[in-house]
């Protein structure tokens, strides 16, 4: 079933979008940063936009890097919460030189899906093993662990894994298995070991580097990654979540690639992750594909 997903996230609001920027509220603070898909005009005045507590300024020498300008008294780190079926997940935000803040709030729609499936498995008497690849600061990891899953969290950046561990502790959780390694190399080894998982979460970047300099290019490496994951996922009573942030790659493309690697599942969803700003302008923030079998 194809549909757009927008989570209910009390500590996050998309305030306005336009002129390739977005104005967002994370907890009590407003941020202003680039958004390549906001091709329309803003609805609020420039004066309103200038009230942002933190604004990202691009480096003229780089398309990706830049720095944040903060209003007096505004911290460069703060914590927000997400109500996951009545349980609070706590996540620290940090203003990075790549414009990211340590959380992709649209992914909360997938956190609900992950939590619900892990709880369902627990209710059937199975403690699911879940693998989170390209796991970043761990929102999906927290959702699975909060539902009682045994979670393996894999990311190639040690500082990001440390950040995810802080989020786990702030959320009152424990027991996650942390792996600092290239994701493709890790799943290749897991296939050789004959390991199996009841849930696999994939959130690959368009381009990246592994812990030892391994090169990741989404279009070149995704099919091999999916083929490995197909050997790791249990044939029944399992779920998969795949996110694609690279512009130009559709959810239909993701669905086709997953079908080739895994076969046709019993239930599936695909589409866009979105938020709508105060003026009603809907901003797509990535594509997703997920299934249960």
Please list, in sequence order, all residues whose beta carbon lies within 8 angstroms of the beta carbon of residue 274, skipping any fewer than 6 positions away. Answer: 4, 5, 6, 106, 282, 283, 284, 285
In the predicted model, is pLDDT for residue 62 greater than 90? no
Mean pLDDT, residues 243-253? 86
Query: Quick one: pLDDT at residue 206?
Result: 85
Average pLDDT, the chain: 95
Torsion sign (Cα): 33, 38, 15, 102: negative
Query: Quick one: pLDDT at residue 58?
Result: 87
Query: Quick one: pLDDT at residue 247?
Result: 66
Query: Quick one: pLDDT at residue 230?
Result: 98
Maximal CA-CA distance, the chain:
59
CATH number of 104-292, picked from 3.50.50.60, 3.90.1150.10, 3.40.50.970, 3.40.50.150: 3.40.50.150
Of 101, 152, 157, nearest to 131 (Cα)? 152
Query: Quick one: pLDDT at residue 100?
Result: 94
Paired sense of beta strands 87-94 and 77-84, if any: antiparallel
What distance, in Å, lies between the first and last C-alpha atoms of the chain? 14
Of 205, 184, 40, 198, nearest to 136 (Cα)? 205
Mean pLDDT, residues 98-115? 97
> Which sequence spans correspond to the domains of the chain?
104-292
Q: What is the pTM of this model?
A: 0.95
- Answer for the pair 41, 82: CB distance below 8 angstroms, yes or no: no
Q: Give the pLDDT band of residue 280 (cuts 50, 70, 90).
A: very high
Query: Quick one: pLDDT at residue 140?
Result: 98
């Amino acid at each position: 079933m194809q549909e757009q997903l927008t989570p209910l996230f009390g500590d996050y609001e998309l305030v306005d979008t336009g002129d390739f920027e977005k104005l967002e509220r994370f907890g009590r603070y407003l941020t202003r940063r680039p958004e390549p898909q906001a091709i329309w005009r803003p609805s609020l005045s420039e004066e309103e936009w200038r009230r942002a507590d933190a604004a990202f300024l691009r480096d003229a020498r780089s398309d990706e890097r830049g720095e944040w300008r903060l209003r007096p008294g505004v911290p460069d780190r703060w914590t927000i919460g997400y109500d996951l079926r009545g349980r609070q997940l706590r996540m620290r935000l940090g203003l990075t030189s790549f414009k990211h803040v340590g959380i992709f709030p649209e992914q909360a729609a997938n956190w609900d899906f992950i939590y619900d499936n892990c709880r369902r498995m627990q209710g059937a008497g199975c403690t699911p093993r879940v693998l989170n690849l390209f796991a970043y600061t761990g929102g999906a990891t927290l959702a699975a662990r909060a539902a009682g899953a045994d979670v393996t969290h894999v990311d190639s950046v040690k500082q990001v894994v440390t950040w995810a561990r802080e989020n786990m502790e702030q959320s009152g959780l424990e027991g996650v298995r942390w792996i600092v390694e290239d994701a493709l190399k890790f799943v290749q080894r897991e296939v050789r070991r004959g390991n199996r998982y009841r849930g696999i979460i994939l959130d690959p970047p368009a381009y990246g580097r592994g812990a030892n300099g391994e090169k990741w290019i989404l279009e070149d490496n995704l099919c091999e990654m999916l083929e490995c994951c197909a050997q790791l996922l249990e044939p029944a009573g399992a779920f998969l979540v795949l996110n694609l942030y690279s512009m130009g790659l559709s959810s239909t493309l993701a669905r086709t690639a997953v079908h080739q690697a895994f076969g046709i599942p019993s239930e599936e969803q695909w589409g866009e992750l979105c938020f709508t700003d105060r003026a009603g302008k809907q901003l797509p923030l990535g594509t997703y594909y997920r299934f249960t079998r």
